[in-house]
Structure formats: C-alpha cells, structure tokens
Structure 1
Amino acid sequence: MHYAYAVEGNRLVRHDPDRDLAGAIWIDLIQPTDDEMARLRDLGVPLPTLTEMEEIELSNRLYRENGLDYMTAVLPGEKGSGERSSMPVTFILSPDRLVTVRHHSPRPFLTFPTRAERSTLGCTGADRLFSGLIEEIIARQADILEGAGRTLDDTTAGIFERRAAAASSDRLQAALQGVGREAETMARVRLALLTIERILAFYTATIDDRPEADRLRPVIRAQMRDVQALEVHADFLGSRVSLAVDTTLGMINLQQNNTARILSVIAALFLPPTLIASIYGMNFTNMPELGQPWGYAFALVLMGATTLGTYLFLRWKHWL
C-alpha cells in the first residue's frame, strides 16, 4: 500500500494510487508489495526490506547510496491489529522527492499531509518536506511525553493523598500498572528521540551539498535543540516514574504489614484463652475445678481476663 503526494498551490495533494509516481514529491509506502518495490526501482529508488531496516548497526541505518540518503528511525505507532509498537521507518531522500518506508502507522504520517504547508519551511521541495515531517514527528513525541506527564501527575496525586494508605490493593495494583505503561511509552519515545537525533546529525553532515543549505541549517539546528530538550524531559519523567513505582510498592508493603499486624494481634489475643482451654481439656483425673459448680464460670472469667490483660499490654506498648 502506498500514498503519493504532489505539491499544488504550496499544499500537499494526494494522487490516485494508480497514477505515475514520477510526479510525486512524497511517496509513503506501508508494507510495500513486490509490485510497489519494482515501481520504485524503476524510479531509481531501491527499497530496504524490513530485516534490513531492523539492523541496529549505524552503517545500515544512515548511509548514502547512488545519490540517495537512507535514514532510519525507530518510531512509536500502531500496527494494523491496533497493537502499539516501535518499529523502524526509513526516509529515502533525493533532490526531487522523499520516500518513506514503514510497516506500522506512526501518527505524524497521518496528520502531516493536511498541514504540511504550515511547517517552518513549507513543503515545496524534498528537503523542506523532510524537514517538516521531522518537525511533525518531534512535536508528536513532545505530545506523548506531555500526556505521560499528566498521567503521572494523576497517579502520584492518588498515591500521595492521605487516604492512599487505606487504598485497596486493587487500586494500588492499578496505579502500578498505569505507571508501568507510561514507563514503556517513555522508553519508546526515548528511543525515537535518539534515532531522530542521529538522523539530524547525519543530515547536518551532508547539508552543504543541498541547494537550500542556508535555509535548512538553522531549522535543523533548532530541531536538534528540541530533540535534546525532549531527551532531558524524558529523563526527568523517568525519575518520576521510579519515584512513583517505589512509593506504590511502599504503600503495598505498608498495607501488607498492617494486615500481618492485625493477624498477629488477633493471634496474641486468643493465645491465653487457647492455653487455658487446652489445660482444662486435658481430662486428667485430679483436676479439682472440673468437679466444682463454679468451674465453668471460673474458666470463662479467666479466659476473658487474660484476653483483656493481653489487649491492655499491647496498647501500653503502643503495638496497637
């Protein structure tokens, strides 16, 4: 599947899928078929396979071949099944067009075509289009981090409030699972920012070869600063995640300790009566109290007195 776009009136307009791709300024391929790969080869743009895109070696993700720049980033998005995942996306940049190859759906690829003309440099050239798409991707990572920060605010507020100590274990478990999901989200964003930073560094190293280098350089430099600022923010949120996890686990441990303490107190209160009942249940022949009319009442009073004495002793020691 693919989408082809051309510039009409400073805006991106999607072409019919069967139209010749030679006039497209941006070709976005999603899980390209053999036929689509052959059509791109005819345009002089050989496409990498998913296996090649997933290679972690830097030389396989950032390189120049036959006048084309191949740059691969790992971006968060959704698969066709709706599952969230981080997968590689390859940007193939030539002087005339931008080709992107992906096997999932990062949100910037869905939103950028409708507002490409509003990016810093617009979309009237391949380099400007690439810059605008990277700008949209960076903005999306910032949105994800902002959403994660709001979720952490809500979670930590629930953990640190006064009634949190009395919260049910289900509530604390839900908070722990929520924090874990946000931690996974931030890890994906952190990986995306790292790979985008590498792409921008590679692009900066080759920017002098481009006709609009003077216009592109300050924009790419600003994007690099944005990425670095977001990395610092992601690290800050990571420390908040650690604090939230430690606090939640601490609350769970306190709750378990309180439960164990209550059970221990109950066992301690019933220990003296159990001892008395065990003594009088031995049924020895020479047990004078068993033959007295007051023996039963005496045993009950003794049990109650020892229970009360144990309770007062625990209160005196501030163990209750």
Structure 2
Amino acid sequence: MLTSWSVKDGHCLVREGAVSQITVALPEAQSRAAAAVVDPDSLRGAVWIDLLNPSPEEEAAVQTALRLEIPTREEMQEIESSSRLYREGEALFLTANFLYGVDGGEYGSTAITFVLTPEHLITVRYATPKAFTVFNARAQRVPSTLLASADAVMLHLFEQVVDRLADILERVSTDMDRASHSAFASARAGGKVKANRRDADLRETLLTLGQVGEVTTRASETLLGLSRILTFVGAEKGTAVRKENQVLIKTLVRDVRSLVEHANFLNNKAQFLLDAVLGIINVEQNSIIKTFTVAAVALMPPTLIASIYGMNFKEMPELQWEYGYPMAIGLMLAAAILPVLYFRRKGWL
C-alpha cells in the first residue's frame, strides 16, 4: 500500500485510489492495479509517503517521481552501520529495527527505512508498529503541526515511537511485579497453599519473566536504532533538519537515553527475579529429594532385617521361637524409627 500525506491551506489532503491513506480500506488488488496510474505530481507534492508492503509498481512510481532509489527489503536487513545510515546527495537513508505486535501477543522486530529529503519523508516498512497507527490518527487531527515539513514528520513520528515504548516498558514492569509478588507469596505460604497452585504460580512467573526479557530486549534494540539515527541526523542537522525542529532532536536524545536506562534496569530486575524463582524451585526440589532420602535411609535397616530372615538356612534358631515373628516385626519398626528420631534431633527434618 502506498500512502501519501500533504498539507494545503492548513488541511491534510488524503488521496484515495493508488495513493491511499492507511485508514481507507482498499482491496489489495485495487491498490496495485491503480498504482500504474499514480500521478507523479501528487507524489512530488506529498510531505510524507508511507510504503507498507510496497509492490514493485509502487516502488517504481515513487522512485520515478522523486528520482531516488528505494532500498529493497533485503538491503533493509543488512546490519552494517554503513548500510543502515548513509547519505546520497541530499537524501538521508536511515534504517532501524522497531518493536511491533506487543498488544496482540505475537510481537517481533521489523526493519523500517526512513528516507529523508528536504521536501519529502519516505518510510518503507513491512509491518505496522502501533506508533504508526496512532501517529496517522494524530496527523489527521493536527496536520499543520505534525506535517509541517518532512523532518518534522520524522521527528514527531520518532516521538510517538518513544512514547509507545515508554508505555510498553511501564506495562511490562507492572506485569513483572504482579507475577513476582504472586510467586513469592505462594512460596512464603509454604504448606498453606496447595502444591499444584504453588507450581502454577511459579510456572506463570517464569513465563512472564521470559516475556519481559524478550520484550525489553527488542525494545532496547529499537532504542539503540533510534539512538544511532538521532546521532547521525544530529551530525547532519545543519542540512537535514530545520532550525525550529532541532530542539526536538535534543529532547528525543534525552528521552531515548532515559528509556535505555530503564530497559536495562528492567532486564537486571528480571534476571534477579528469575534467579530468585529458580532458587525457590531448587529449594522445593531439594526438600522433596531430602524427604525421599530420609525415607530410603529409614527403610534400609528394616529391609536388612527382613532380608536376613528371608534366608533359607537350615539352622536359624529364631524360626522355632514362639515369639520370633513379633520380635522380627518389632525389630524392623525400631530400626525404622530410630534413624528418623536421630535426624530430627540433628535438625535435618
């Protein structure tokens, strides 16, 4: 889908057909068929062109109209810094991985490229982080501010991404606190809570901590990419960013730095809680193993006595005693009870 935004007389112009706004649900076949008749003047007049899963025809239309090369999906996956951040003429090509899909539970990271020219911002993406959806809605309400220039669009979009990451990290922190409280409360209750309930709480805590680690890692990856982009743009701000928008770069750098520190804190906290939960599980397993060990030790002497009297020797005087059987049973009971009493005295039980 190819989306273009432009501002005229303080109003946002949403062009339908081949150039369709993301809130206009056009069939894919209609969008692709209409791409062949895109008006180049419409593209040249747009401030922001958003390419979501672009077809070759849509890419060609943008490249022809703006006379620049759109990176392919394979080129966007390259990890070298020189392949992700570079300048060609007056255009800056900026690529980073962005977290998406957290609300749906099927989260991941997707590479998004920002092509910034003095007149246009082109975004190339193959997934939709929620920040883009929210920013689209905001752009329709206040286009004169958010779509004033190409660099303003990019910086305000980054601002929305940072706000979204802050919300995600806050939610992750709340989920982690809730899960850890439940696990520690069950462990502290001990025998007052059923073993199945305690095991379920520990299992849920482990799953939550795993998810926290995954989300915070991907969020840190997004923040790292944003930090690199802002550093690169900051070095080029004299030509790439208008003077009135340069203050946004400093604000974004501070916000990104604070979120990186918070994400690192959450990662460390998650690691600590993971170690603590695994320690609780090890203690419970050791308790179970100790119980089985004591039972095995307590049963060894009676087993020895029973084995002796199970022998088939001809001369065994006890076999002829009137009280031989009760004596053997009593001896086995005493041999089982005495080790247990000894273990209790030593504090091993």
TM-score, length-scaled by structure 2: 0.85
**1:271-297, CA deviations, whole angstroms, 9 ceiling, x for partnerless residues?**
121111011111211111111221111
8 Å Cα contact 1:148-1:182 kept in structure 2? yes
> What is the deviation of 1:228?
0.5
- The one-letter code sitting in structure 1 at the alignment partner of 2:334 is A
Q: Does 1:61 align with 2:96?
A: no
Q: Does 1:273 align with 2:273?
A: no
8 Å Cα contact 1:4-1:16 kept in structure 2? no
- Map of 1:147 onto structure 2: 171
Structure 1 residue aligned with 2:326, among 292, 297, 300?
Answer: 297
Relative distance call for 1:37 and 1:119 in structure 2 (3 A) is closer
1:64, 1:162 → 2: CA distance? 57
**1:74-103, CA deviations, whole angstroms, 9 ceiling, x for partnerless residues?**
101149x98422121000112222110011
**1:38-58, CA deviations, whole angstroms, 9 ceiling, x for partnerless residues?**
101112232101111111111
Alignment of 1:82-161 (within 5 A): 83-116=106-139, 122-161=146-185
What's the Cα RMSD here? 2.3
2:143, 2:230 → 1: CA distance? 17
Q: Does 1:51 align with 2:70?
A: no
- Map of 2:225 onto structure 1: 195
> What is the deviation of 1:118?
5.8
2:11, 2:92 → 1: CA distance? 24
Alignment of 1:299-314 (within 5 A): 299-314=328-343
8 Å Cα contact 1:156-1:244 kept in structure 2? yes
SS of the residue 1:115 aligns to: helix
Percent identity reads 36
Tell me which moved more, 174-183 or 129-138: 174-183
> What is the deviation of 1:212?
2.8
| Structure 1 gap segments, 5+ residues each | none
8 Å Cα contact 2:114-2:124 kept in structure 1? yes
8 Å Cα contact 1:10-1:122 kept in structure 2? no
| Structure 2 gap segments, 5+ residues each | 20-38
- Map of 2:282 onto structure 1: 253
> What is the deviation of 1:319?
0.9
- Map of 1:233 onto structure 2: 262
Relative distance call for 1:9 and 1:250 in structure 2 (3 A) is farther
**1:165-214, CA deviations, whole angstroms, 9 ceiling, x for partnerless residues?**
7454443233212211110111111111011011111111122125731x
TM-score, length-scaled by structure 1: 0.92
- Map of 2:347 onto structure 1: 318
